[in-house]
Amino acid sequence: MAKSVGVTLSEQIHTGLVVDHKLVDGLRRFPEDEDDYGALVEMHTDALVETICEQIVQAANGEKNLDAVGVAVPGLVKSGVVEEAPNLPQLKGTRLRDSISMKLHDHGIACPVTLLNDADGVAAGLAARHGKLDAMIQVWTVGMGIGYGRYPFTPGVWEGGHTVVTLDEKETFCGCGGRGHLEGIMGHRAMRLRFLDMEPEEVFAGAKKGDARCVEFKKLYHKALAAATATSIHMSGPGKFFLTGTYVKNVDLPMLKEYTQQMVKMSPLQGYSLEIVEESPEVRVIGSAVSAEQAAGV
Ligand SMILES: [Zn+2]
C-alpha cells in the first residue's frame, strides 16, 4: 500500500495524503483565504520552504513512513532544481528538492522527494483517475499560459506550450519572447495583446455570432493547437490527449479534431484520441504523489 504526500504550488499550496492513488483526509490549502493569495509570492525562499514542509507534515498526520513526497511547480524543473518559475520568481535557481528533503528530515520524515512540472502532475492525476496508469497520456492545460504534461514521467524539457506552430513573422505575442509559439496564439495575455479592444471571451462570443475577425482567430487558435498536437504525435507517437484548464471552454473539440486529422495522415499514427476533461486541485495533488512514487520506484 503506497503512502505519499502530494503538493502543488500556485497562488496556494495544496497538500494531501495519498494512499493507493486516492486522497485520504481531503485537501489542505494554504493560505486558506482568497484575500491572502499574494502571500506566497512575497515570502522569502527559506520561509516558503518552511511553509511547504509544515503543510507536508500536517498532511502526513503523524505518518513518518511515507514512500514519497511529490511537489509540482508551475515552471521548468530539472534534477530537483527550479530553473524557471514565472509565478513564484523567488524559487528560480533554488535546489528545492534538497531544501525540502533536509527540512523534512528535521521533522523525522525521511523519504525521497521529487519535483515535477505541474502539467506532468495533471497528466499523472488524470491517468490515475481514468484508470490509465499503464498508458501514455499527454495533456494540454489551457490556462493563462499553455502547459504540456505527459505521463508516465519521461526526463526532458517538454515546454510544449512553446511549440512553433507558425512561420508568420508577425506572430510575436508569446510571453517568452519567441516567435511563432502556441502560447503566443492561445495564451490569455497573448490574446489580449492581439485584440487590444476585446477580452478573450468577447472574441469567442464574436466568433459564435459570425464576426469575421473573430472567426478567423478562432480558426487560427484551433489550427495552432492541432499543429502542436500533430507535432507531438509525430515525435512521441499516438496516445491519449486530455485537454483541461480554466479556458478549455474555448476549445471546440470537433474543429480541433478536424484540423488534427488534416495534419496527421500516416495510418500508424492515427490511433490517437482527444478528450476534454475536468481536473481539480485534488487531481493535481494525487498526480504529484503518483509521479513521486514512480520516480522513487514504489
Ligand atoms: Zn514562447
* Contact present, 101 and 117 (Cβ < 8 Å): no
Looking at the fold, whether 96 and 159 belong to one and the same domain comes out as no
| DSSP track, 217-247 | HHHHHHHHHHHHHHHHHHHH---EEEEESTT
Measured in Å, residue 163 CA sits from the centre of ligand 1 at: 8
Distance 237 CA to ligand 1 centre (A): 23
Our count of domains for the chain comes to 2
Ligand 1 centroid from CA 24, angstroms:
38
Q: Please check whether residues 144 and 109 belong to one and the same domain.
A: no
User: For residue 174, how far is its CA from the centre of ligand 1 (angstroms)?
Assistant: 5
**Distance, CA 25 to ligand 1 centroid (Å)?**
39
pLDDT at res. 298: 84
Q: How close is the Cα of 247 to the center of ligand 1, in Å? A: 18
Same-domain check for residues 174 and 103: no
Does residue 40 belong to any structural domain of this protein?
Answer: yes
CA 126/CA 132 separation, integer angstroms? 8
138-152, 250-264, 283-297 — most confident range = 250-264
Record the cell numbers describing residue 189, joined without a space: 495575455
> Do residues 254 and 128 share a domain?
yes
pTM of the model: 0.87
- Please tell me the distance between residue 3's alpha carbon and the centre of ligand 1 in angstroms: 37
Cα-Cα-Cα-Cα dihedral sign, residues 70, 76, 80, 82? negative
Residue 69: HSE in the Cβ half-sphere, 13 Å Cα cutoff: 32
Report the range out of 85-89, 130-134, 255-259 with the highest average pLDDT: 255-259
**109 & 232 share domain:** no
242 shares a domain with 144: yes
- Asked if 172 and 217 sit in the same domain, the reply is yes
Angle between helices 253-263 and 212-236 (to 10 degrees): 50
Residues 146 and 65 in one domain: no
Ligand 1 centroid to Cα of residue 164, in Å, is 8
pLDDT at 58 over 80: yes
- Asked, for residue 283, whether it belongs to a domain, the answer is no
- Interval 42-51: pLDDT, tens: 899 999 999 9
Residue 140 Cα, ligand 1 centroid: separation in angstroms?
Answer: 15
Q: Which amino acid is at 72?
A: A
Nearest alpha carbon to residue 222 among 196, 200, 250, 190: 250
Q: Is residue 293 part of a domain?
A: no
* CATH number of the domain encompassing residue 251: 3.30.420.40
**Bridge-partner residues for 116, per DSSP?**
72
Angle between helices 281-295 and 118-129 (to 10 degrees): 100
In this structure, the answer to whether residues 190 and 111 fall within a common structural domain is no
Output the CA 183–ligand 1 centroid distance in Å. Answer: 6
Q: Is the model's pLDDT at 76 over the cut of 90?
A: no
- Examine the domain organization and report whether 63 and 202 are in the same domain: no
Residue 270's domain comprises 124-276
